[in-house]
Amino acid sequence: MPTATQFVPGLEGIVAVQTKLSHVDGQKGRLIVGGYSIEELAGKVSFEEAAELLWTGTLPSSKESSSFRKELAELRTIRPETLELIKVARHSPPIDALRMACATLSLDLSNPNDISPAADLAVAKRLTARFPTVVAAHARLRQGHDPIAPRSDLGMAENFLYMVFGEVPHPAVAKALDTYWTTVMDHGMNASTFAARVIASTRSDMVSAVTGAVGALKGPLHGGAPGPVLDMLVDIQSADRAEAWLKNELNAGRRIMGFGHRVYKVRDPRAEVLSKTAEALAGADLRNRKLYDLARAVEKTALKVLDEAKPGRNLKTNVEFYTALVLQSAGLVPDQFVAMFACGRAAGWCAHVMEQHAQDRLIRPQSEYLGPQNLVVSR
């Protein structure tokens, strides 16, 4: 057992968890999920299949996949109490409505405190199936429309877009959203996943742990930044304005959104997947094509400007940059982006809660006291 402690800000480089779920190699730009590179999974298997990989350790066969997707589809409907809460929160940001609603998703569990492997798997299915229903209902309500009930004959991404817009989406759009959710479903020991594992390590239940994870994801240093990428592209307007605009931002001490990552020192592999996804969507829509072409030009210029202004920092394209294009092309608006991230990451959070419950070890680090000592009360 360690006999000495050392303060490391932000736990940088500290290994707090051993996991079989995902691995992030920041030097080589690799993300491994369930043994597969993210490039091998995203767009090649459905989000539901990738979730089962995380939860069981293996990809399902075609027959198993069909059964699993049907099972998740039948769990999409949310309780009246959850819907009433969403109505109350309809003017709140989507991620706040999701956080509030998440805490109610244990209401139909016979034993919400059961953290056995079978109970955890059952709750994981409920949470992952219902997150999109919550976000879609909130989107409808804040626009003054009634929520649309989920359909069990559609895939998860396809059904979500149907519940938001009232019509079955183009297959390419549904596939793009499915690819996005798979791309962001797990990413090592990020802040929200760590928060979920800390809560689970107390033997608290999965719904509590995932609710805490949603709260962590809300922070702009974690999941709350894809929207400003679109603001940046709108402000830049054209490729010939990019360099001056970017230099002005840096001179003003502001971040260039969509670039730089705490772990990756090369291009984020998720950005690679989503850039191809955005390109495929752009090919079918002239408006999206124009935005995509501008984004590629801005990306190229930004990498050059950042390398010149901050040499050695290795500020490369991260997942936020092309997330903004993919979600905007699907018809979603920036303040929904973090909640959309949560819909994908929920599968990973649930997998980590299962793993933490199985390890059954309380996460309890030390702190270094810097305050006064030996004070005396004098009255």
| pLDDT tens-digit profile, the chain (379 residues) | 444 578 888 888 888 889 999 999 989 999 999 999 999 999 999 999 999 999 999 999 989 999 999 999 999 999 999 999 999 999 999 999 999 999 999 999 999 999 999 999 999 999 999 999 999 999 999 999 999 999 999 999 999 999 999 999 999 999 999 999 999 999 999 999 999 999 999 999 999 999 999 999 999 888 766 678 998 999 999 999 999 999 999 999 998 988 988 888 888 999 999 999 999 888 766 557 888 999 999 999 999 999 999 998 989 998 889 998 999 999 999 999 999 999 999 999 999 999 999 999 999 988 889 999 999 998 8
What pLDDT is stored for residue 95 in this prediction? Answer: 96
User: Of 48, 272, 320, 355, which one is the catalytic site residue?
Assistant: 320
Residue 56 to residue 120: CA distance in whole angstroms: 12
Judge contact between 72 and 131, C-beta under 8 A.
Answer: no
Which of helix, strand or coil describes residue 366? coil
Residue 263 to residue 12: CA distance in whole angstroms: 10
Residue 303 to residue 317: CA distance in whole angstroms: 8
Q: Residue 120 burial (CB < 10 Å; 0-12/13-18/19+)?
A: buried
Superfamily of domain 227-329: Cytochrome P450-Terp, domain 2 (1.10.230.10)
What pLDDT is stored for residue 1 in this prediction? Answer: 43
Is 261 designated active site?
yes
Please work out, in degrees rounded to the nearest 5, the angle formed at the alpha carbon of residue 200 by the alpha carbons of 198 and 203.
120
What pLDDT is stored for residue 226 in this prediction? Answer: 64
What pLDDT is stored for residue 225 in this prediction? Answer: 62
Q: Which of 183, 211, 202, 189 is nearest to 319 (CA)?
A: 183
For 22-221+335-359, CATH gives 1.10.580.10
Looking at the DSSP bridge assignments, the partners of residue 31 are 24
Looking at the DSSP bridge assignments, the partners of residue 24 are 31
Judge contact between 17 and 29, C-beta under 8 A.
Answer: no
What pLDDT is stored for residue 288 in this prediction? Answer: 73
What pLDDT is stored for residue 3 in this prediction? Answer: 46
Which of helix, strand or coil describes residue 222? coil
Is 40 designated active site?
no
Judge contact between 363 and 197, C-beta under 8 A.
Answer: yes
User: Of 48, 49, 187, 261, which one is the catalytic site residue?
Assistant: 261
In which residue are the tokens 């929920």 written? Answer: 346
Give domain limits for the chain: 22-221+335-359, 227-329
Residue 173 to residue 184: CA distance in whole angstroms: 17
Judge contact between 78 and 130, C-beta under 8 A.
Answer: yes
Q: pTM surpassing 0.75?
A: yes
| One fold for 22-221+335-359 and 227-329 | no
